Structure 1
Amino acid sequence: MRDQEAAHGQDGTRLTTKEAAEVLGVKPETVYAYVSRGQLSSRREPGGRGSTFDAKEVAALARRNRRDLGGSSPASGELSVRTGITLIDKDWYYFRGVDATELAARHSYEEIAEWLWTGRLRPGITFTAPDTAVDVARRAVHALPEHSGPTDRLRVAAIAAATADPLRFDLSPDAVLGAARTLIPTMVAALPPLRHTHREPVPLAERLWRRLTGRTPDESSLRVLDTALGLLVDHDLAVSTLAVRVAASARAHPYAAVSAGLGALEGPLHGAASSFAHRLLLDVLDRGTAAPVVADELRTGRRVPGLGHRLYPGEDPRARALFALLEDVPAAGPALAAARDVVATTARHTPLYANVDLALAVLTVACGMEATAGETVFAVARTAGWIAHILEEYEERPLRMRPSGRYVGARPPQPLPR
């Protein structure tokens, strides 16, 4: 219906900005974003007060948007969503066209987050949290049972922080960015500290370190943690990111959308995967060799944790970058050797490479962290990427993430159940 309306603009061939926005199902400012990206052309009529748009071009873009949202691809059977955030290409990945591993090697987590959110680098930026939000989040997290996991705490902290933000329903880019810059440090500050220091403010990686281990950090270990945060910021449309975009498409506020991502992240096949690799390395270190440990994993029908990735035919570039940095961490030597033993043992029969979960496990084992520490790192890091996807999704047509179900149940009419 809208495509038919688009064929008849105000004068039969041209549409006003308002009319084009209605056809595309977006806000008027998004129409100009399409123009700046080269996806739509505009023209200012002589004596006119605003730009006009070719009706056929607008209709074609509307059809393309619906097609690009996805449905399923006949070749892959998978959903695809247009995004300008992360590209994964063979054994490399890029943030807004820039090599992600190079960015993580040269810039802090906060700087990379700003790059994803705004397309600009802000050297030296440090995120800070308002005292009110931190106090509310800490009290909420403190009320949880002692056995609560890290994702439980982060999710509760995010929702508690939302209640302290009366502007959370403002979905304008500036408001979302303001919320993002305080939400992430609030989530970290709400986690119980294992080590205290009075030196503030410090980079987020150092604040997170205090929540992961009671050991005094050395420069090389902190660099690995900060780089891990930067490498894990985003990774295309992972299941947690899809959950975030579904929530954002319904115009859930950023805190609620992040909470949706944390819920999906908690699965053992996603954010919690590094904890299995952590326990694997401890077992290898305890038994002195990977062979019996790998055999036990395979005997029970489980995959060997920390190996292989469906998006990379070779080694995960995130693992490659972290392993190189871990070489400079003196305490990481035994865990590194155990990880290499696992890879070599498995490679005798199956050509699998290390993934980022195994590299995270080396870091968490070497630095005396709990098995769940990798899950915490993953969740904090990915929150920045989710914010980037939230910002992107708010510019799209509302409720577009609404696939149709393919009913396979009993055909009606059926008798009423007794």
Structure 2
Amino acid sequence: MSFNFSSIKLWLSKPTSFFGIKLWIAILTCIVLFFLVAALCITLYIIITRLRRKARNALNPMVSKDVHTKSHNSNYSMSRRLLPHNAWEIEMGNGTPEKQVIFSSNQTNLPGARYPHPGVAFDATRSCYQFTLTEIEAATDNFADGNVVACGDYAVVYYGIMFGNTRVAVKRLLHSRAKAKEFTGEVEVLLGLRHKNLVKLLGYCFEGYYRIIVDEHVDNGNLGQWLHDCISEVSPLTWNIRMKIVLGIAKGLAYLHEDTEPAIIHQNLKSSSILLDKQWNPKICDFGITKLLGSDEWSYPITPPTGMSGYLAPEYLSTKILDDKTDVYSFGILIMEIVSGKPSIEYTITEIEEYLIDWMKSMVESEQFDQIVDPKLPEMPCMKELKRVLLIALKCVDPDVMNRPKMGKVINMLQPRDLLLTDATSFLSASS
């Protein structure tokens, strides 16, 4: 044994041709290198596997068992989850087909819409959240055309699902010049707003050139659709519902103007920016959006955005200032629109613009109050209440900015009480 051990020891001590290193040192080095390489390979495999699993979970999140079952049981249930604001069937009262109302224009083909992923299981109890672009793409099926709710001057709105099973409106801002600090600062202000007549902001995404905000989903269309696109002969918007909507909008605007610091001016108030829930409660959307576009977007160009011409206060053409009084003017036009069912601007056969405010003033001056009310109303309102509401609208659109009331005052005027309206005609003559 001593002979064999000595021979092995002598053999291992022999120098190799590799820089004269002894054989035993070369063998030990190879063994150590082998284990190091093996450990490195195992570590890389574990890291890559975890990254792939994380990416797969983000892009293909687990659907709840309930949702999965419903989506396979019937095409109808899947279509119900795909419904964007301007295309879902509106259920009225008992939900029977006779009580369902659909809109006559810009319908989306629901069977062709693609099903958005339910999104990553975020913590829904958090009041604010900065989403990643991957999460936004998963919620909207990579901004699928089939999930587009609306396209406007400032944003494209997509229907999406987040928090596992929560429907959201994903608003992708267009032409935003806002820097990261400026954008997030403005968003943080909006995230702190809480009012039942405002659409709730749930979160945002600032990544690359993407500027995205995520709002709660309001599931009963917008006011403009119900006033102008409803094909039913009798509107489901009764007089009491319309007055409830008017008062709700006033309360939401008063909160923005008088209960926030600094005050928030909407700047883009119109019937399509008033969303309605199933109980016909109005929720104002798009407030503060111009600030999110960046400092260069504080005023409209010479031509106002689509749909704003009939709502824009006349002094803006000379002052280029948008303040609380311009919002009050837009609110006055909204009242006229809600009462009459007419759009803020109509075009004649000769394509001449007819402004709602001019028509309304002429009707009041000639005391043709019965011609003012929307013919689709199921019942005529009390004449005293009709005159009261019209006078409030006319005060809001007074050409003299100083004579327009604050929104808090408007709320007081809207509360049911007796008002003397005999001087409505003299008010019109003084303002003309």
Q: TM-score, normalised by structure 2?
A: 0.27
Larger Rg: 2
Task: Identify, as 1 or 2, the structure richer in strand.
Answer: 2
Greater share of helix: 1
TM-score normalized by the length of structure 1: 0.28
